[in-house]
Structure 1
Amino acid sequence: MFPQSKSGKFGLLALCALSGVLAGVFAAGPAMATDGSEGDNLAAYEARVVAEDGLVLRIGPSTHYRVVGSKEYGSVVGIVCRVKAERIEGNPVWYKLSDASYVWSSRRDIVRDGEEPRWC
């Protein structure tokens, strides 16, 4: 399969090098796909923040998850999909944004044009 030297080590070295290259390609692939502003292209829906206090972004769909940022009043956010999770003020719907953060919002806090985002 692989060329071998008299010591038999060449084939093993080639296999190790090839597996290292493939591992690097697969590990870097997802990071490159979502790097920078290209993440906004993943959003199927856009919405505008109309909550006067803005929205809190978290790493998961619950207040138990760490806060990773916020969106100010008037910001446009890309929504990928929605999930049912922790119920806040009677509403269990959280939105997954194009930057992979999650945000809870009453329907009064985000204005969307068109249909509801798909379920994740």
Structure 2
Amino acid sequence: MSLRSRLAITVAAGAIAAAATVTPAVAGEDWGGDPQNRPRLYKGVVTANTLLLRSAPNRGGQVIRTAHRGQIVKIFCKTVGQNIQGNPLWYLLTDGTWAWGSARYINNIGAAPRWC
């Protein structure tokens, strides 16, 4: 099963536990094969004083950890989730654990993340 298929299943299930089966994109990790086919990480900066990062792209997801204003986070992809103050996008972050953060409180650095 491809990485894209496994990630799509994870997003559809809305369970971070399933995300553990997805091979995380980590800087410096050797993916082998064609460099053009390697997953790309995106970056963002947290704008909330304290951002709760969750197990699912909604406020009902379990809080896994927090991020703080000015912190740079690694973004794997984006998806549509619960609308937070007019923004329905959520980012899947890869900083140590897989967790969802509302895009309302994360500004992109560079290109916008790809869709999950």
Q: What is the TM-score when the length of structure 2 is the normalising length?
A: 0.61
Gapped regions of structure 1 (runs ≥ 5): 1-29
CA distance in 2, matches of 1:40, 1:103: 18
Q: Which residue of 2 aligns with 1:45?
A: 42
Q: CA contact under 8 A between 1:56 and 1:70: conserved in structure 2?
A: yes
Matched pairs, number: 83
Q: Which of the two has higher C-alpha Rg?
A: 1
CA distance in 1, matches of 2:102, 2:40: 17
Read off the aligned partner of 1:118 and give its amino acid letter.
Answer: R
Compute the RMSD of aligned alpha carbons: 2.1
Q: Which residue of 1 aligns with 2:102?
A: 104
Q: Matched residue of 1:63: which SS?
A: coil
Q: Which has the higher helix share?
A: 1
Q: 1:95 to 1:102 in 2, by over 3 A?
A: same
After the TM superposition, list the runs of 4 or more consecutive aligned residues in structure 1 that deviate by more than 4 angstroms: none
Read off the aligned partner of 2:87 and give its amino acid letter.
Answer: N
Query: Percent identity among equivalent residues?
Result: 30
Q: What is the TM-score when the length of structure 1 is the normalising length?
A: 0.59
Pairing 1:81–2:48 present: no
Q: Which has the higher strand share?
A: 2
Q: Which residue of 1 aligns with 2:89?
A: 93
Gapped regions of structure 2 (runs ≥ 5): 1-19, 28-38
CA distance in 2, matches of 1:40, 1:55: 22
